[in-house]
Structure 1
Amino acid sequence: MLKDGSLSLVLRLCAAALSLGTLTFVGRAFTAEDFGYFGTVMAMLALLTPICALGWPLTLTRYISQGFFSRVLVWRALRQSLSAALLFALIGALVLREWIFALGLVILPAYVALDLMAAIFRARGSFVRALVPRDILWRGLLMIGVWVVMSFPQGQQTSMLLVLAIPPIFLMAALQMRSLRDFEDCAPMDADVARVRHRIWISTLSGTLFANLDTLAVGAFCGVEVAGGYFAASRLGSIIVFVHSAVGLAVGPRLARHHAERNASAINADLRTAALMAGVPALVLFGVFVVAGGVLLGAIAPNAEDMQIVLLLLALGQVVNGLTGPSGLFLSMSGAEAQVARVSIQSLAVGAAMILLGAAVFGPIGAAAATFAVQSRSELRLWIGARSAIAHQGGPA
């Protein structure tokens, strides 16, 4: 666990550094309007990728980790997910008034393909193949692209960056998919895979909608320039998410295997180690944001300096996420995905109302406060559910 978690953490921290570097570069090089468009397009891709993935990434991680691999089913997952992505891209090209958003949707199929392939490699223990393409290479290429488009006129920089980004990300997706030829079938997939996938997709969809709703709500009620500042605060606070997700990437396959072996003590040990590895860095980073959050935001983008309260509220929600450990992931890996789906749907319903109301009445701070409150409640409910599940499996809660 420590070895896999440490490797995953190093790779995700490299990705976080590149992400922060790109964000700072864009915030300094682009106009406030272009920066707002960049943030909105990135949030749109983050929102639509798990929608189009149809629950397949986590489903494949669960079953492949337990020793099941069906090449036919994997290709079916890719066909279904890519078809959904292409449909979204086509609809966007036809109905979106801002053509820059339609251009961003062209990247969506490659995002989805890389997401599925990362899940497969992660389940097979290849964290480098899982994380390097989109987490590191893609962010590095984006930074190079920002430097290239700085010479273009203002108002065209984000659109030209997206044009330059299309060929390399599709090349990375194609190379990842090509490696499927080297895999061998181990055993047929569980017959319940369709039911499991639907439940996982519902929880993933709900969680993703909730995670990106605040930025979109701020853009709708406060304008694209304010949304750019909020996006900067959200992405700076998400450095904590990089740490938490790195631990989850390593522990997810292990939890699936331990559940199949009915090894409650190993599940407990991995959950506690994961909470420690995610929670301590989260607290340290939160302290940094308390002391120097405004300065860091100002370094990223001049119009984001007054978003420190927003940053602290969003970061505090991620601290709760880290300290409670990967409880939702464990439930999804152990047959309790229906419980995760229920919590996610309820959180989305309550969160949508609170975030929209908060953004409309109190602006960015209202949206961030609503996000923190709903996210914390959701994580605590999942933590209680995980404790109960472990107790029923025969281990100490």
Structure 2
Amino acid sequence: MIKSILQLMRRDVTRGVVGTILLKVGSGALAFALFSLAARTMSPDGFGIFATWLSVAQIAAVVGLVGQESLLVRFLNEYQVGDRPDLTKGVLLSSFKITSIAMLIVIAGIAIAANMRGDGWLLILAVSAYTAANAGVMLGSQIARSLVSILTGEGNREFFWRVIVVLFLLAMLLGHRQLDPAELMAVMTIAISVGLVAQIVSIARVLPDLRGTPARSETSRWRSSALHFWLASILEAANQYFDVILVYWMLDPVTAGIYFAASRLANIFAMLSAALYTFGARRLPSLYFSKNHQEFERTLQLMAEVTALCVVAGLAMIWIGGPYLLNLFGPHFTAQHSVLIVLAIGTAIQAAGGPSAAILQLTGHERIYVPVVAANVALRLVGFLILIPWLGVLGAAISATVSLALATIALNVLCRRRTGVDPSILVLLRFSALKRRNYAVRGADSSD
């Protein structure tokens, strides 16, 4: 077994997947440190309000991007393979224009809604600024990932800026200073803006000189794809963050903070899914559009092997170490170990399903992806309305897990039917069966 693992790690694709996963795990560890320290430096109500507004800001950033971040991944790869700098310039200019206008509208909406709720102007300003900066770094990471590297794109989006915030929170904790949500949102905005500037500089250095290149447009293709990408992105963001808002609305800020903490811990598997998407979004489109089917399937197989190892290890860690991890947020979080386990099962199933969503979206089948995610959100909402009054926060976790598992199964079935590719870890069973069959054939031939 050890020999097989060592052989696996020597493969170039495996190293790329593992490197991406390590980046995501490091980012997740920093996010965990950030949120646990925030819980320690805030009152229970304050942390619940912070978690809720952070969830609102994340969804708002996705709404304001209007699907342009996914559209750039889709078309920058295609135009690079096809050597079309005119269309590359056209899609970049179009995306910048659309997102700038949309973000102004979204930020205005946040400010109006917060003012109607009676929130202070400092919190309104902090949430609005964070939404804009977060949207900018999300868009920049997609361009940097395609043109520079995964480290530049994802590192500045999820890793480096969190180091600054964690150090700040450590200083506040050691100084026995209690923060309010507006202060932490402001610090996060400043830190993430540093990452955005680093992305802009790195992209400017590698971007081809397009000043003399006339921009060409494929408006109808971009509009059609962007609409489906936008709907999918909104629904995905709702899957991740709308739960906290609903728990806040149906229960109270303290419970919302508890659910937020448990869901962030369960996201160890969501980090794996995000890492697979990040790696797949950089490697799979170019293989698909260049019709390199053998390498395409080889990449998926190796991704499945790494995923299987990570899922088993992650479930063991949540089962054994969950109470200790929850205690880092505060003693009253520890009692929710069952909620954490239920949420972890759902995200583990999603990770085991592989990058089916990425494959469907990046190979031109984004239209069928949207109804599945919409059904997932609707089912989760119905489950919340039924189970939360009955089981409280555990009911929310059960609803989230069931809806996520059903959506994962549906996406994998669609992916196999539309693309002929099985992205889940079940593909390993097929390869294992083929190997046994080949060995049996070779044995029969040698006996003859």
What TM-score results when the alignment is normalised by the length of structure 1? 0.91
**What is the aligned counterpart of 1:350 among 363, 379, 385?**
379
Aligned residue type for 2:168: G
1:19-63 superposed Cα distances (whole Å, 9 cap, x missing partner): 111122222232212221222232222222222111111211122
RMSD of aligned residue pairs (Cα, Å): 2.5
Aligned residue for 1:238? 267
Would you say 1:116 and 2:139 are equivalent positions?
yes
Compared CA separation, residues 299 and 352, structure 1 to 2 (3 A): same
Contact 2:338–2:394 (Cα < 8 Å) also in 1: yes
Moved more, 168-177 or 203-212: 168-177
Aligned residue for 2:57? 45
CA distance in 2, matches of 1:19, 1:392: 33
Contact 2:72–2:91 (Cα < 8 Å) also in 1: no
Q: CA deviation at 1:190?
A: 5.1
CA distance in 1, matches of 2:101, 2:241: 23
Compared CA separation, residues 125 and 360, structure 1 to 2 (3 A): farther
Would you say 1:31 and 2:43 are equivalent positions?
yes
**What is the aligned counterpart of 1:98 among 99, 119, 125?**
119
Contact 2:148–2:202 (Cα < 8 Å) also in 1: no
Would you say 1:380 and 2:392 are equivalent positions?
no
Contact 1:32–1:303 (Cα < 8 Å) also in 2: no
% identical equivalent positions = 18
Radius of gyration: which is bigger? Answer: 2
CA distance in 1, matches of 2:238, 2:406: 17
Aligned residues: 394
Contact 1:355–1:366 (Cα < 8 Å) also in 2: yes
**What is the aligned counterpart of 1:166 among 179, 185, 189?**
189
1:341-362 superposed Cα distances (whole Å, 9 cap, x missing partner): 1211222222222223322332
| Structure 2 unaligned residues grouped into runs of 5+ | 1-12, 423-429, 432-448
CA distance in 2, matches of 1:356, 1:78: 39
Moved more, 17-26 or 223-232: 17-26
Q: CA deviation at 1:327?
A: 0.5
Aligned residue for 2:342? 313
After superposition, where does 1:314-329 map in structure 2 within 5 Å?
Answer: 314-329=343-358
Compared CA separation, residues 175 and 296, structure 1 to 2 (3 A): closer
CA distance in 2, matches of 1:278, 1:161: 34
CA distance in 2, matches of 1:86, 1:145: 29
Would you say 1:269 and 2:298 are equivalent positions?
yes
| Structure 1 unaligned residues grouped into runs of 5+ | none
Aligned residue for 2:3? none
Moved more, 293-302 or 74-83: 74-83
Aligned residue type for 2:119: E
Moved more, 168-177 or 382-391: 168-177
Q: CA deviation at 1:229?
A: 0.9
Aligned residue for 1:71? 89
SS of corresponding position for 1:41 = helix
1:8-27 superposed Cα distances (whole Å, 9 cap, x missing partner): 12211211121111122222
Q: CA deviation at 1:107?
A: 0.9
1:104-158 superposed Cα distances (whole Å, 9 cap, x missing partner): 222111101110111111123511210222211221122123234455864x433
Q: CA deviation at 1:178?
A: 4.5
CA distance in 2, matches of 1:248, 1:327: 9
What TM-score results when the alignment is normalised by the length of structure 2? 0.81
Aligned residue type for 1:38: F
CA distance in 2, matches of 1:233, 1:348: 19
**What is the aligned counterpart of 1:136 among 140, 154, 159?**
159
Q: CA deviation at 1:380?
A: 0.8
Compared CA separation, residues 326 and 190, structure 1 to 2 (3 A): farther
Moved more, 171-180 or 205-214: 171-180
Contact 1:118–1:129 (Cα < 8 Å) also in 2: yes
Aligned residue type for 1:71: K
Contact 2:232–2:370 (Cα < 8 Å) also in 1: yes
Would you say 1:20 and 2:20 are equivalent positions?
no
Q: CA deviation at 1:248?
A: 1.6
Moved more, 306-315 or 364-373: 306-315
Compared CA separation, residues 281 and 225, structure 1 to 2 (3 A): same
CA distance in 2, matches of 1:225, 1:90: 28
